[in-house]
Amino acid sequence: MASKENNSGGIAETFKTVFWALFLAGIIRTILFQPFWIPSGSMKPTLMIGDFLFVNKFTYGYSWASCPTVGGYNLCGFAKDWEGRMFQSEPERGDIIVFKHPASEADFIKRLIGLPGDKVQVLNGRLHINSQPVDLVATEDFVEEYGPQGPLGHRPRCANGAVGEGAICTKEAAEETLPGGVKHAVLNIGNSQGDNTGIYVVPEGKYFFMGDNRDNSTDSRFAQPYGVGMVSASYLVGRADRVMFSSAGSSILAFWTWRSDRYFKGLE
């Protein structure tokens, strides 16, 4: 009998351990950090396909978007009509932010360009904020190999035209300085729909986002549902500060493909 009691006690302890481990993981996932794996090239060269990072969820406070999504359903989706945030802190221009797409609620990651009240426009591929062109200094071309990238097998677009498998794919690169002093790299592939836009006035409580890979980014320059449009504060998930590691292969588990130059890389 003692043996059965010991076995029962051992099983109960195991269940308790598993329960508390899952509970703690859920708390961390909801309140502190969210893992995020970069699936597309819209933020190159700042973020590469296969970068793995943790999103800091307490930077801007908490809203319904802070809750995990399970089986395609956000656990706090019932609160979507609430536009506020608990313990709210305002994001800063230049922050790299994960947010929920206003139409599909999929997780997107872009750079914050326009704050409430700003006027944002792109003219001949150059960003203007409040009628002033941002500083833009040409740098060396961004170079990568042409071929499938990541688990989805996306192939990069190249400024040097159509190239063959394994050939060098280049994009024009420049350093952009936003009002406030944030400097970051941007890429240009060629003439595109987003190179010349109207003037966007950012409403109160909303934000304007763009990808650093300007000609390969679905962002606030394009209206919903195909684009992102303006993003409400309640749709912000958190800020990305650092890449933990990066996989150049088709699986995050393929450790032999991890990029040696991206371990714990800070983001600008």
Which amino acids are annotated catalytic?
Answer: 42, 110
Long-range contacts (CB closer than 8 Å, 24 or more residues apart) made by 127-130:
127/176, 127/210, 129/178, 129/179, 130/179
Compute how many other C-beta atoms are within 10 angstroms of the C-beta atom of residue 63: 23
Bridge partner list, 245: 52
Contact 153, 187 (CB under 8 A): no
> How far apart are alpha carbons 85 and 79 in whole angstroms?
11
What is the rounded distance in angstroms from the CA atom of residue 199 to the CA atom of residue 213?
A: 21
Q: Which residues of 157-188 are buried (b: 16+ CB within 10 A; e: fewer)?
A: bbbbeeeeeeeebbbbbbebebeeeeebbbbb
CA distance 69 to 66: 9
Q: How far apart are CA 242 and CA 38, in angstroms?
A: 12
Neighbouring residues of 195: CB distance < 8 A, sequence distance ≥ 6: 122, 124, 125, 214, 215
| Six-digit token string for 36 | 């995020």
